[in-house]
């Protein structure tokens, strides 16, 4: 089955700096990679996703890059703001139609 | 449009007691998931339904956990008997497309505490 590794597990940045979270996956058949944001006590919500036929996708301050050869994808948040503080999960939709999540990265943006 | 609705939001029970969680997915979503989320961890799949069929229950501890999705809409997840290690948040999610192409919409979760 699919194995998704995510790091770092915690990340603290100063407001205005950039944050990068990285994930690797094992199933070469995986073809869809979403990122979810989960605020404390709330539901995970999709913030950006990328499909295997694309190398990069941007949405305002958020971008995701995918390297299929190396089997890794990354979330980039620029000009971080306090409201970006949350837990971020990467996920991979694998060849067995199974969604596997990473363990999460707790991002703290320090004002 | 209403999102994924789960109940109860919180449940505290003694070990060995039964507990049930209910999920109402977004209207028209044919795929429904139950996930287990431990504190500080990512969601772990318990079971996935396509309509009323359980297409992936390989991670469901079948000795104590059961689930059903009658008529392919609402779903219930049951634990009987509950153990201390079952304390976690149980998340329900639904999607419109097949698992490898679509966004998952999560409910608020049901937080279980087993004493």
A97, B98: Cβ pair inside 8 Å?
yes
Segment A71-90 shows an average pLDDT of: 97
Sign of the C-alpha dihedral computed for residues B23, B28, B34 and B39 taken in this order: negative
What whole-number distance in Å separates Cα of residue A76 and Cα of residue A107?
12
Beta bridge partners of A11: A107
B103 touches chain A (CB under 8 A): yes
* Of A56, A38, A55, residue with least CA distance to A47: A38
**For residues B92 and A73, what is the distance between their CA atoms, to the nearest angstrom?**
26
pLDDT at B2: 77
In which band, very low, low, confident or very high, does the pLDDT at A71 lie, cut at 50, 70 and 90? very high
Q: What is the pLDDT of residues B49-104, one digit of tens each?
A: 989 999 889 889 999 999 999 888 999 999 999 999 999 999 999 988 654 556 88
Query: Which positions ≥6 away from B68 have C-beta within 8 Å?
Result: B75, B76
Cα angle: A105, vertex A23, A8; to 5 degrees: 35
Judge whether residue B109 has pLDDT over 70. yes
Look at residue A93 and tell me whether its pLDDT is greater than 70: yes
pLDDT of residue B97: 65
pLDDT, tens only, A24-42 = 999 888 889 999 999 988 8
Residue A101 contacts residue B42 (beta carbons within 8 Å):
yes
pLDDT confidence of residue A105:
97
Residue A53 pLDDT greater than 90, yes or no: no
Name the residue among A103, A91, A85 with its Cα closest to residue A40.
A85
Q: Does A88 touch chain B (CB under 8 A)?
A: no
Of B55, B110, B32, B100, whose CA–CA distance to A49 is shortest? B100
The mean pLDDT of A34-52, rounded to a whole number, is: 92
**Which residues from chain B sit within 8 angstroms of residue A103, using beta carbons?**
40-42
Give per-residue pLDDT as tens, B8-64: 999 999 999 999 999 999 998 989 999 999 988 899 999 999 899 998 898 899 999
CB-nearest to B42 from A34, A49, A101 is A101
Q: Quickly state the pLDDT bin for A2 (edges 50, 70, 90).
A: confident
Put simply, the answer to whether A31 touches B48 (Cβ < 8 Å) is: no
Q: Decide if pLDDT at B1 tops 70.
A: no
Average pLDDT estimate for A46-60: 92
């Amino acid at each position: 089955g699919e194995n998704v590794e995510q790091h770092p597990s915690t990340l603290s940045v100063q407001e205005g700096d950039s944050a990068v979270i990285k994930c690797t996956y094992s199933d070469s058949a995986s073809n869809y990679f979403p990122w979810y944001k989960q605020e404390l006590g709330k539901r995970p919500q999709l913030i950006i996703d990328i499909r295997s036929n694309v190398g990069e996708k941007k949405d305002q301050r958020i971008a995701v890059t995918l390297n299929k050869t190396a089997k890794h994808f990354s979330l980039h948040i620029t000009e971080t703001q306090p409201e970006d503080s949350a837990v971020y999960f990467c996920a991979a939709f694998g060849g067995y139609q199974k969604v596997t999540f990473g363990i999460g990265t707790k991002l703290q943006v320090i004002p | 449009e209403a999102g994924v609705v789960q109940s109860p939001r919180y449940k505290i029970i003694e070990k060995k007691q039964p507990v049930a969680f209910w999920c109402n997915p977004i209207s028209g979503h044919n795929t429904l998931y139950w996930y287990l989320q431990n504190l500080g961890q990512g969601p772990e799949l318990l079971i996935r339904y396509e309509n009323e069929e359980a297409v992936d229950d390989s991670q469901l501890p079948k000795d104590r956990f059961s689930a059903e999705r009658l008529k392919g809409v609402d779903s219930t997840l049951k634990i009987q008997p509950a153990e201390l290690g079952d304390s976690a948040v149980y998340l329900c999610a639904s999607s419109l497309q097949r698992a490898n192409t679509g966004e998952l919409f999560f409910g608020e979760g049901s937080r279980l505490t087993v004493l």
